[in-house]
Structure 1
């Protein structure tokens, strides 16, 4: 039997699932369905983004993005507009409803950060950030290769 060389990805996965689960429960209060807050925040932060770039930013497939975007449109959080130059491309923009709840979502995200980093020094926080960012960059290159093959 093969032996796992490190538990780090399982720990990161567990951390991610806890935050996702807490967020999904909290954001039910504002009628966001499971995982929609990640799409909504990125659209608020990148007004005019297209769905392909949004998929790449979130590391999800196009079908997942299409479904999430459609639900956010139906819920009145975002709208789609044709690109001024490339009429085949659609751009995503937050509506007032999205911009109104964006601070609440970020406040919740900041609470999770505060809880995760409880009893960490500033240096430890920065070190963890640099290490996890480096890990993401390493795997992202592999992800791009796999995705494009």
Structure 2
């Protein structure tokens, strides 16, 4: 069986996956000195917008299965980025709060994310960046 490898680069799914790999790698490299993974950073970003979400709410917002999220949150708590607390109204629910460390590091971490975005999009004009953002939002 032969495959037409010349067609692979024209496949949108292939191109999107390659763009994702490049972007993911840029952010990963910038987060490494902080001891954070890309997923952990996304959780911090979400909590900076709304601190005290439940684990279920985080799971739904980020489209992460609960088992995966549980492990990520555990490592973040051990690393001093978040605190997990039982919900006062529902003892089965766990609320996730940012620590002072996470809030103190917010500006530095956001600068690293922005630098990764800037590097990834450096070859585009402002108009192309706006169009790409709109297309990706529509697709997502």
Query: Aligned with 1:92: secondary structure?
Result: strand
| CA contact 2:22–2:120 (8 Å) conserved in 1 | no
CA distance in 1, matches of 2:31, 2:116: 14
CA distance in 1, matches of 2:139, 2:38: 26
* Pairing 1:1-149 to 2, within 5 Å after superposition: 7-33=11-37, 35-136=39-140
TM-score (norm 1): 0.77
| CA contact 2:27–2:116 (8 Å) conserved in 1 | no
Unaligned regions of 5+ residues in structure 1, if any?
137-149
Query: Aligned with 1:79: secondary structure?
Result: strand
Q: For the structure 1 residues 20 and 117, does the alpha-carbon distance in structure 2 shift closer, same or farther, using more than 3 Å as the test?
A: closer
Report the CA distance between 1:43 and its aligned residue. Answer: 2.2
CA distance in 1, matches of 2:130, 2:38: 30
Report the CA distance between 1:98 and its aligned residue. Answer: 0.8
Structure 1 residue ranges, 4+ long, deviating more than 4 angstroms after superposition = none
Q: Which of 1 and 2 has higher RCO (CA within 8 Å, sep 6+)?
A: 2
Unaligned regions of 5+ residues in structure 2, if any?
none
TM-score (norm 2): 0.81
Root mean square deviation of aligned Cα: 2.4
Report the CA distance between 1:106 and its aligned residue. Answer: 1.1
| CA contact 1:44–1:93 (8 Å) conserved in 2 | no
Q: For the structure 1 residues 26 and 114, does the alpha-carbon distance in structure 2 shift closer, same or farther, using more than 3 Å as the test?
A: closer
